[in-house]
């Protein structure tokens, strides 16, 4: 029995182009900050990679700041802009990834910030009027706005260009976490109007441990790391040239194939939703019905615990994920689903199936083969647990 890997939103296999670019550099030596010939060769790899990423994402090379991944980039944007602006209010959507939410809450707990969650509708979208109303309560007090491009759990796509335009009416910098968007949606840093944008290597078919924060000219967050100031004096640390080369190759390949990939994944996703609905008629599909990632299918299964479903599916060769977090061994409902107005039971009984560049019809068929019996078994287990006290 083969394994159907349907957790690409967590991490996706490296693209052949990225593997080749990275392994070619792994055999080389050199620090991009060194002035001798070997250092200059490494610097050329880094700068050519920077140009590749900028070209693919509609940015200038000088706007690409390399980081160790999406989490660091989110932290640099949110903490750095808060400290640079010296204003208390951080406006952030209620459905952000914890890599963005937790820095905002940390600033509130330790640095006098006020982390204000922007409400979302039942699909997980922030309405432009919601942002405007939040800003207008005290425009001069807002340090920044942060709203992700596409949600990592339910796949809903945000109206980023409209939201960024509202923030700019008040002179407020706008950050977006575009980690999930780059490989599946048209993403242009310049056209979106955002001031800071997070990208991660391993979400687009590149290596783990590398990412970037795109920063518009004149947007200068206070550094989170201090040292050599290698990246525009806002990010310090020796640059990982092999990872950066693999990252750039992955971004270029993913963007070049994006339209075809999105079309193929949309067909697979719709087939998956249809098959799951047929097997489990009372299943609930979460997220926006049309403005969503092509490769995302997110379900709530009434009467089930998501963790139980996850393990039962795993035992049958289907790998997916839940949105729940575990605290002291107790599953907590997804903050994304709660923010969308769902109750705790429905939120805990949810699964995310995310498709990517290696996904096939056979993966979808495998889910269809086992999902009905898995849900039935999970429901029986739940009833047994309740009746047993």
* % helix, strand, coil for the chain, step of 5: 45, 15, 40
Tokens of 43: 């610097």
Residue 326 annotated to the active site: yes
Instruction: Report the alpha-carbon distance of residue 36 to residue 50 in Å, rounded.
Output: 21
Helical (H) or strand (E) element with 387:
helix 361-387
Helical (H) or strand (E) element with 50:
helix 37-56
Q: Which of 274, 304, 320, 326 is catalytic?
A: 326
Instruction: Report the alpha-carbon distance of residue 22 to residue 253 in Å, rounded.
Output: 14
Classify the C-alpha dihedral 364-366-372-377 as positive or negative.
negative
Distance of CA 331 to the CA centre of its chain: 22
Q: How many residues does the chain have?
A: 389
Helical (H) or strand (E) element with 232:
none
Q: Return all residues near 386 (Cβ < 8 A) that are at least 6 apart.
A: none
Closest listed residue to residue 97, CA positions, set 70, 61, 130, 120: 70
Q: Which active-site residues does the annotation give?
A: 326
């Amino acid at each position: 029995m083969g394994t159907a890997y349907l957790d690409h939103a967590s991490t996706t296999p490296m693209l052949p182009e990225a593997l080749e670019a990275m392994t070619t550099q792994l055999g080389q030596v050199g620090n991009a900050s060194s002035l001798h010939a070997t250092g200059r060769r490494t610097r050329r790899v880094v700068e050519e990679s920077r140009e590749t990423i900028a070209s693919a994402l509609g940015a200038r090379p000088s706007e690409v700041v390399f980081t160790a991944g999406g989490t660091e980039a989110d932290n640099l944007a949110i903490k750095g802009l808060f400290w640079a602006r010296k204003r208390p209010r951080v406006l952030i959507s209620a459905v952000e990834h914890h890599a963005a939410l937790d820095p905002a809450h940390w600033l509130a707990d330790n640095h006098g910030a006020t982390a204000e969650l922007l409400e979302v509708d039942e699909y997980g979208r922030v309405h432009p009027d919601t942002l405007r109303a939040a800003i207008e309560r005290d425009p001069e007090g807002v340090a920044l706005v942060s709203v992700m491009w596409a949600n990592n759990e339910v796949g809903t796509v945000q109206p980023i260009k409209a939201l960024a335009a509202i923030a700019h009416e008040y002179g407020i910098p706008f950050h977006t976490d575009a980690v999930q968007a780059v490989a599946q949606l048209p993403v242009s840093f310049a056209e979106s109007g955002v001031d800071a944008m997070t990208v991660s290597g391993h979400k687009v078919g590149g290596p783990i441990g590398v990412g970037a924060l795109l920063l518009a000219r004149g947007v200068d967050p206070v550094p989170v790391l201090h040292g050599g100031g290698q990246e525009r004096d806002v990010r310090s640390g020796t640059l990982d040239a092999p990872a950066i080369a693999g990252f750039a190759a992955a971004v270029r390949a993913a963007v070049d194939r994006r339209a075809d990939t999105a079309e193929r994944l949309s067909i697979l996703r719709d087939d998956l939703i249809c098959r799951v609905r047929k097997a489990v008629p009372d299943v609930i599909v979460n997220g926006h019905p049309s403005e969503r990632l092509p490769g995302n299918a997110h379900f709530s299964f009434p009467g089930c615990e998501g963790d139980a479903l996850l393990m039962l599916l795993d035992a049958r060769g289907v790998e997916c994920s839940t949105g729940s977090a575990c605290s002291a061994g107790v599953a907590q409902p997804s903050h994304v689903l709660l923010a969308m107005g769902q109750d705790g039971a429905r939120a805990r009984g949810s699964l995310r199936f995310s498709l990517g560049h290696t996904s096939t019809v056979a993966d979808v068929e495998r889910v269809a083969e086992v999902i009905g019996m898995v849900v039935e078994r999970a429901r029986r287990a739940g009833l047994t647990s309740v009746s047993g006290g």
